[in-house]
Amino acid sequence: MTVLTSLWTVFFMDDCMQDLFAISRDLPEDFQASNVGKRFSGVSLPMFRAVNFIVIGLIVLAEVLAIY
């Protein structure tokens, strides 16, 4: 059950990140030129996906090790 819940979490968070990055492409140019916009556009989606998967994977590993 823990593994299935964690997989659902990975998919949910990945979908949220894709939505955020899609929204960032639709922001007005004045916001994209701001400091927040520059910082947001400088981050890569694959990095977030990888970190999300690794963190959730480590949580699952810790939970499974604690059970057994």
Which pLDDT tens digit goes with each residue over 9-48? 888 888 888 888 888 778 888 887 888 888 877 777 788 8
The pLDDT value recorded for residue 67 is 84
- The amino acid at residue 41 is S
Domains of the chain, by residue range, sit at 2-67
pTM over 0.75: no
Q: Are 24 and 41 in contact (CB under 8 A)?
A: yes
What whole-number distance in Å separates Cα of residue 43 and Cα of residue 40? 6
